[in-house]
Structure 1
Amino acid sequence: ANTTTLTVNIKITNSSLASTQLKDVVILANFETTAQNMIPAFQYTGAWYNLMDNSTINVTNVNTPISLAPGEYRIYGNKQANLAIEDFEKGNQVNLYPNPVSDYFTLGFATSKVDIYSITGQLVKTFNTNGNADYQFSVSGLTSGLYLVKTFDENNKVRVVKFIKN
């Protein structure tokens, strides 16, 4: 932070990471009430990525000023921010059937434990399945409504799905 202005320039480097990974980050912030030209002082020239939208800038001079409006901030990195959301969602799909449920449902994959919560967040039922992929979860005693099923696999990975009880 600059002591005479309300601007922030933070650099983060993790030298134990390879250059193919997100290892260098520059954060610029303008807390002034007027626009400011900030010297980013990037760690090196070349392609940098705005981690907020993955747009690219080509840095030819590490000290070329970047103009920031009042209250604006930027976060740049040496690589794009890849969160692999697509893979995450694919890996967390739960096949609960039938849905809506009358008496019981099955999940079609192995679980070690399954918790059922009311839509208000109250734990209403727990099943310890011991990895049985064909386990039939009896919910005949539950009242009609919407429920959340929280499943745990043998590695304690969690998947969540909703079901409607008839």
Structure 2
Amino acid sequence: WDYRDNPNRYHIHEVIAALCRLKIDYPDPFQSNNFNWDVGGYGKRLHLNGSDMDAVVVANFRVSELSMIPGFQHTGLWYDYLTGEPVEVTDVSAFMTFAPGEYHVYVDQPVNFPAAMTEITNTELNGVVYPNPNSGTFVIEFPEAVNVNTLQIFDLNGREVTPFCSANILHGGKVIQFVNNSLYAGVYALRILSDNQQFNARVVISNNR
């Protein structure tokens, strides 16, 4: 079992373990019936109101940057639980900008923060998509072979459409060929993760159906 050998997978393990410790060590807001959530859009928010501590969970479920209001319950000093960084809140209606997939758990009391809980940073892979636009078949070419861990395609609504495509890895990982006969014409977001690197591109499909 290679969790410890894969930094991205092991990071997920550490995040889940840290969240479990928070709930066990500080049960007050998690046992309270005073909570509310807003999960209707791409920006998700959960507010937990305890007698000793409040918590706010925010996440961006889009594949692009998103500005949203976390909706802190009050002004003052808050803490990002997973990093321990303090956040001074002066306006509970202020917007904050979140990267694709970015999430935070904020608490309004200093707690036992997870040790060395830092986000995995993926460096950008250099690659070229061609032809682009295309009629449903296209190629991504890299200057060097890549080890593909994750390969995903999303439509502009953030819905993953990868199952409708097939991908062939050629030339030892330097070339990836996509073939699809099911996607409608439109713009799609392509994401490839390779160890601690990632490749992102917009692909335009025309006259496919």
Q: State the structure with more CA Rg.
A: 1
| TM-score w.r.t. length of structure 2 | 0.35
Richer in helix (by share): 2
